[in-house]
Amino acid sequence: MSAETLSALELSVRVAVLATALNALVGVPLAWLLARRRFPGRALVDLIVTLPLVLPPTVTGYYLIVVLGRRGWLGAPLYRWTGWTVTFTWYAAVIAATVMALPLLVRTARAAIESVDRDLEKAAYTLGRPEWRTALEVTLPLAWRGILAGLVLAFARALGEFGATLMLAGNIPGRTTTIPLAVYTAVQTGETGTALVLVAGLTALSCAVLVVAARLGARAT
Amino acid sequence: MTSIVVACALLLSFAAPPAFAQELTISVAISMKDAIEEVGRRFVAEQRGATLRYNFGSSGELQKQVEAGAPVDVVVFAGARQMDELEARGLLLSGSRRAFARTVLTVIKPADSTLDLAKPADFLDPRVKRIVVGNPRTVPAGQYAEESLRALGLWERVRDKLVYAENVRQALEYVARGEADAGCVYVPDARARADRVREAFRLPEDTYRPVVYPAAVVRDTRRPALARAFVDRLAGADTRTVLQRFGFDPPPPGSR
C-alpha cells in the first residue's frame, strides 16, 4: 500500500469515528426530542435533519459551503474574527460526514425511543425522577440497541461519504482525501489497480460494519 | 445543527497545524492531474521553500468552491466556461488568466472492434449501435462533440444512438468495456487507455471551438506573487514539452 492510500485509510477512519461521536452527541438528544416532545418548529427540524438523506450529496455539500464557506452566512463572520475557514480542512470532512450520517442515526434512534413503554417513564416520574433523568436512566437504556444500531449505520455512512465531502473539504491528497475520494481520483486518472485495492478495502470495512448493524438490529427487536 | 457543528469545528481549530509560509493551494480539474503534478514538481524545484497543495475535482465543483470563498490560490480548469463565470463575478486577479494548453476531440472504438470507422459519416453505419459522448449540458467534451456533429449535419441523424456520460472518464470506460461501439473523448484520455481503446479518427478541428485549458490566480490569494509565478510557469514555453508528453498541445495564439 502506498503512503497516500494509508493516509486516506487513516483519515477515513478518523473522520468516521469523529462523525459518529458527533452524531451521538447531537443526534441522540435530537432523536429523543423528536420522539418525546412537541415543540414549535418540530416538523421543520425533522425535515432539515432528514433532507441530506433525500438530496444528492453534492447539493448537501453545496448548502454546507454556502453556510460555512469563507463567504458563507456563518463562515464569513468566523473568517473575519479568526482568519480561519473550515473549507479544505479535514474538519470539513468531519462536518460533511456528520451531516450526511445524522438522518440515519436520528431516524433509527427515534424509532427505538418511541417504542419504549411510556408506562415505565410515567413510573419513573411518580418516583420523583425529573424528565431529563428519566430520559437518561430509563428511556435511553431501554432503547440502547436501536441507538447503537443507528450509530453503526452512521459510522458506515460517514465512512463512505463522497459528494458532500468533495464539495466542502475538497480532494487534497494527504489532507482531505478520504478513501471514497481516493477511489474517485484513481478512477478519473485511470489508475485501475489503485482503485481496485481501495474499493476492496472500503467494501470489506463497510461489510463488517453492516453485519454488526444487522446483528444489533435483530437483537433489538 | 450547523451552529453546533461550527462550534465543534471552532474548538477543534485550535489544534490545526500552522500553514506553511510559502504554500499554494491549487484547484485542478481532475483530467489534468498527472500533467499538473509534473509541472508542479519542476516549479517546486525552482522556487525554494514553496510547497504545493492540490485539490482535485470537476471544473464545475471547483468553480463553486471558489465562489463560496474556499481558500484557493490558483485554479486550473478543463474548460473556458467555468473560468468565464469566475471572471464575470470578479473572483480572479485581473490579468492573471492564461491559456496554457489545448487538446482536440478524437473518436475511439474498443481495441477489439472490427468496425471500420474512418470518417464522421461512418457513424451512420447500422452496425454502430451506440455512440457515447459527454452530456452536452454538463460536460465540456460533450458540448464540443455536439458542436462538431451539428456542423457536420450528423447530430440529428445519430441522436438515437447517443449515450450520455457524466464525465469523459465514464465515456472512455463505456468504450473500453465494449458497452458502446464508439465515443468522443480528448486525445490524452484515449492515450491513457491505449490498452483497451483505439483512436478511429479525429473530428475536423474547424467544426468546433478550440478546446483550451485556462489557469488563473484567485483574487483573494494571500500569495499573489507566487501564484502568478506558477500560472506563468504553466503557460511558459518550456512547460510545453512536458504537457505534450501528456497529449496536450500548445494553446492557439490569442486564446485565453
pLDDT in tens, B155-207: 999 999 999 888 888 899 899 988 899 999 999 889 888 899 999 999 999 99
Rounded Cα gap, residues B24 and B4, in angstroms: 31
Q: Quote the Cα angle for A143-A148-A153, to 5°.
A: 130
Pick the closest to residue A12 from A212, A219, A198 (CA basis): A198
Residues of A whose CB is below 8 A from B192: 189-190
Rounded Cα gap, residues A117 and A103, in angstroms: 24
Residues of B whose CB is below 8 A from A184: 30
DSSP secondary structure string for all residues of A51-108: HHHHS-HHHHHHHHHHHHSTTSTTHHHHHHHHS---TTSHHHHHHHHHHHHHHHHHHH
Alpha-helical segments (H) within chain A = 3-22, 28-36, 42-54, 57-68, 75-82, 90-114, 118-126, 131-134, 140-142, 144-160, 163-168, 179-188, 192-220
B254: pLDDT confidence band, cut at 50, 70 and 90? Answer: confident
Rounded Cα gap, residues B81 and B75, in angstroms: 13
Q: Does B61 touch chain A (CB under 8 A)?
A: yes
B15: pLDDT confidence band, cut at 50, 70 and 90? Answer: very low
Kindly report the average pLDDT of chain B as a whole number.
89
Q: Does A105 touch chain B (CB under 8 A)?
A: no
Q: Does A51 touch chain B (CB under 8 A)?
A: no
Subunit contact A167:B6, Cβ cutoff 8 A: no
Rg, C-alpha atoms of chain B: 20
Subunit contact A167:B61, Cβ cutoff 8 A: yes
CA distances from B69 to A30, A128, B79 (A): 31, 53, 21
How far A86 CA sits from the closest chain B CA (Å)? 7
Rounded Cα gap, residues B1 and A88, in angstroms: 20
How far B125 CA sits from the closest chain A CA (Å)? 30
A:B CB pairs within 8 Å: 120
How far B126 CA sits from the closest chain A CA (Å)? 31
Taking only the tens of pLDDT, chain A with its 221 residues reads 688 888 999 999 999 999 999 999 999 999 999 999 999 999 999 999 999 999 999 999 999 999 998 888 999 999 999 989 899 999 999 999 999 999 999 999 999 999 999 999 999 999 989 988 999 999 999 999 899 989 999 999 999 999 999 999 999 888 899 999 999 988 887 788 889 999 998 999 889 888 887 887 676 55
Rounded Cα gap, residues A177 and A196, in angstroms: 17
Q: Does A173 touch chain B (CB under 8 A)?
A: yes
pLDDT at B11: 47
Q: Does B167 touch chain A (CB under 8 A)?
A: yes
Q: Does B161 touch chain A (CB under 8 A)?
A: no
Interface of B with A in 92-121 (CB under 8 A): none
Residue A168: CB atoms within 10 A of its CB come to 32
DSSP secondary structure string for all residues of chain B: -HHHHHHHHHHHHTTPPPPPTTEEEEEEEGGGHHHHHHHHHHHHHHSTT-EEEEEEE-HHHHHHHHHTT---SEEE-S-HHHHHHHHHTT-B-TT--EEEEEE-EEEEEETT------SGGGGGSTT---EEEE-TTT-HHHHHHHHHHHHTT-HHHHGGGEEEESSHHHHHHHHHTTSSSEEEEEHHHHHHTTTTEEEEEE--GGGS--EEEEEEEBTT-S-HHHHHHHHHHHHSGGGHHHHHHTTPBPPPTT--
> Look-up: residue for cell 427505538?
A112
A15 three-class SS? helix
CB distance A59 to A164 below 8 Å: no
Q: Does A190 touch chain B (CB under 8 A)?
A: yes
Q: Does B37 touch chain A (CB under 8 A)?
A: no
pLDDT at A217: 66
Q: Does B169 touch chain A (CB under 8 A)?
A: yes
Rounded Cα gap, residues A9 and A202, in angstroms: 9
pLDDT at B168: 86
Joined grid coordinates for residue A104: 440515519
Subunit contact B6:A74, Cβ cutoff 8 A: yes
Q: Does A15 touch chain B (CB under 8 A)?
A: no
Strand partners for B56: B28
Rounded Cα gap, residues B130 and B182, in angstroms: 7
Residue B52's region, left for phi above 0, alpha for psi from -120 to 50, else beta, is: beta
* Stated length of chain B: 256
CA distances from A91 to A73, A130, B26 (A): 18, 37, 19
Residues of B whose CB is below 8 A from A69: 65, 68-70
How far A47 CA sits from the closest chain B CA (Å)? 12
Task: List, for residues B50-102, the tens digit of each pLDDT value.
Answer: 999 999 998 888 999 999 999 999 999 988 889 999 999 999 999 999 999 99
Task: List, for residues B97-124, the tens digit of each pLDDT value.
Answer: 999 999 999 999 999 999 999 999 999 9
Residue A77 has, within 13 A of its CA and on its CB side, a CA count of: 6
- The ipTM value here is 0.73
Residues of A whose CB is below 8 A from B61: 58, 166-167
The contacts of residue B86 (CB under 8 Å, 6+ apart) are B63, B66, B67, B75, B92, B216, B218
Interface of A with B in 147-166 (CB under 8 A): 166
Rounded Cα gap, residues B171 and B185, in angstroms: 7
Residues of B whose CB is below 8 A from A189: 30, 33-34, 192
Residues of A whose CB is below 8 A from B30: 171, 184-185, 188-189
A169 three-class SS? coil
Subunit contact B54:A173, Cβ cutoff 8 A: yes
pLDDT at B118: 94
Rounded Cα gap, residues B129 and A6, in angstroms: 43
pLDDT at B10: 46
CB distance A170 to A110 below 8 Å: no
pLDDT at B166: 80
Q: What is the pTM of this model?
A: 0.78
Mean pLDDT of B210-227: 95
Subunit contact B65:A71, Cβ cutoff 8 A: no
